[in-house]
Structure formats: C-alpha cells, structure tokens
Structure 1
Amino acid sequence: MTMKPTVIALLLLAPVLTLGACHQGKKNSTTASIETDGVKATVEVTDPWCRPTPNGAQAGACYLTIKSSHENTMTGVATPMAANAMVHDMTMANGMMNMSEMADGLPLKGGEKVELKPGGKHLMLTGLTGPLVEGSAVPLTLTFSDTPAMTVQAPVRQPK
C-alpha cells in the first residue's frame, strides 16, 4: 500500500496542529481592583504584548486590551526598559498619519473594552535601555485616576 506524500505530511503534522490549537485560547490577563464605600472597581488588562526592536533602536511599542468597570482614566505607564513611556494615538490628517501623546491620558468608559493596537492607540517606549527581544517580556506599570497601579508582563513577539 502506498501513501501519498500529502497524507503522510498531514499525519505527521496532526499532533503539532492540535497542540497549537489548544494554546490559542490562553490569554495573558491581569486585574486590579479597589473597594470604596462598598463598591468594587476593577480594571482588567488582557493580551499585553510588545513588538521586537532591532539592536540600536531607541523606541518601541506595546499593545493591550483594557477594560474598566467604571469611568476611569489610564494616566500613565512606566517600565524599567525605557527612559520614557506614554500613551500615543495615531490619526490621519491631510492624507498623513500623525502620532501624538495622549497628554490627558486614555479615557476608559465603564464596561467598554479599549484595544491598543498597531496603527491606533499604543504604548510608546522611548530611550530604550536595550532591544526588545522576541521571547522576553517587558514589565509595564499602568497608573489610573481611580484604581491602584498595576504591573503587567508584556511578552515580546511578532504581530499575529
């Protein structure tokens, strides 16, 4: 009996594809909460990640999804991996993409997710202390107007 090369390849790849499918459902998530006057306020950050940078790069970008249980503002970000970290937004004006700091912070509406992603809002790291290397993680400390600061570990990886 002869097996076609395609069938053999599929049989060999089946375990690898199955393991890959199992892994995709796992998300990196961190939650911070505070209780005031019996009311619990939470902020949840999911899927934080940073794009790898080449050696010598002075800037990098990180992304995440954030959800607050109440009206809140992400007022800042800090990391030991960079001299400066801030929230930036990308906008189109006169056919040109412009990047600018969100000096008043990132507004969070209660119960709504805000996605920081390539081509839009993102965390900008400048004055990097070294390259962001794929497979490592960047600690990001996020500060808020109405909840305690929280630190998330953002894996360095290529975009999905």
Structure 2
Amino acid sequence: MRLAACAALALLLPVAAHAEASLTLTDGFVRSSNPKSGAAFMVIGNEGDSECRLTAVLSEAAERAELHTHLEEDGVMKMVGIDGGIAIPAGQTHRLERGGDHVMLLGLHQPLAEGQTVPLSLDFGDCGMVEAELPVQNRNDAGHGH
C-alpha cells in the first residue's frame, strides 16, 4: 500500500512541475496611492497545453489580497471582486492592468515606498504556485492601461 502511494505521488510531481514551468510573469509592479492599500499588475503567460486559472494571491505585505476588476455600471466604473478566478487560456497571455483585472492588496502592514519590492504567491490551482517579487512603482506614469 505504501509503495502504491509513493508511486502515485511520483506520477503527480512531474505534472505539477511542468504546469508551473509553463506560467510566466512579466512587466510586474505594485502601485499604492494610500498607506493602507495597493494593487499589483503584470502580464501572465501560459505556455502550457491547458488553461490555468489564477484563483488566489497571498502576500506578507498585506492582511489580504483579492482579485478585482472594473465594470461599467450606469456609466460609472466600479471595482468589484472576481469570483472563480482569472482564466489564462493555453498558449495565451492575460494582462492584469489599471482599469481592468488586477490584484488588490488590502490592509498593508506599512506604506509601500518607491523601489521597494513586494512578495506575492500566486495560486494557479492545478497549475501550481508562482512566487514573485514585484517592484513598487508609485509614479503617476507607471503602469499598464495608458
């Protein structure tokens, strides 16, 4: 029984390692306009053969991290939480940007200073975890969506 369990685990490890290796993060940065919250932006690439879904983000820099997007409602843009995560189709990229999908960092433990880095752990479910250190760029001209 113990040998069968070890053999099953050995079969799962290469799949997780392969899926994790198929994800890339580029153009990442964090921006904070007030001392208690910030947002993370990046381009997530999926070079694998199947869809991956960003389901959660953790950061020791904040009490919690949430996936958010902006929706237009009655001519007004509103920020709302994303249920079910963000899909990254196989062979494609998805941009987390200002005015669109992004990661909100809520309850910052300290204000984010220009040039500092913020650690993030991105949970892609079956595709694995991706660790990142994103620089803080608070300048008005920093970022995507312009």
TM-score by length of 1: 0.72
- SS where residue 45 of structure 1 aligns? strand
Are 2:137 and 1:150 equivalent residues in the alignment?
no
Structure 1 unaligned blocks of 5 or more: 1-33
Larger Rg: 1
For 1:78 and 1:40, the matched residues in 2 are separated by 22
For 1:145 and 1:98, the matched residues in 2 are separated by 28
For 1:53 and 1:92, the matched residues in 2 are separated by 22
For 2:95 and 2:101, the matched residues in 1 are separated by 8
- SS where residue 132 of structure 1 aligns? coil
Instruction: Quote the sequence identity (%).
Output: 31
Structure 1: which 4+ aligned runs deviate by more than 4 Å?
none
Q: Is the 8 A contact 1:84 1:127 kept in 2?
A: yes
Are 2:89 and 1:109 equivalent residues in the alignment?
yes
Please list, as runs of the form range in 1=range in 2, the aligned pairs for 1:35-46 lying within 5 A after superposition.
Answer: 35-36=14-15, 40-41=18-19, 42-46=22-26
- SS where residue 111 of structure 1 aligns? coil
Are 2:55 and 1:84 equivalent residues in the alignment?
no
TM-score by length of 2: 0.78
Please list, as runs of the form range in 1=range in 2, the aligned pairs for 1:1-160 lying within 5 A after superposition.
Answer: 35-36=14-15, 40-41=18-19, 42-54=22-34, 57-68=35-46, 69=48, 70-157=50-137, 158=139, 159-160=142-143
How far residue 79 of structure 1 moved from its aligned partner, in angstroms, is 0.4
For 2:36 and 2:79, the matched residues in 1 are separated by 16
How far residue 40 of structure 1 moved from its aligned partner, in angstroms, is 3.4
Structure 2 unaligned blocks of 5 or more: 1-12
Bigger mean CA offset, 114-123 vs 40-49: 40-49
CA-atom RMSD, angstroms?
1.9
Aligned length, in residue pairs: 124
Q: Which residue of structure 1 lines up, in the alignment, with residue 6 of structure 2?
A: none
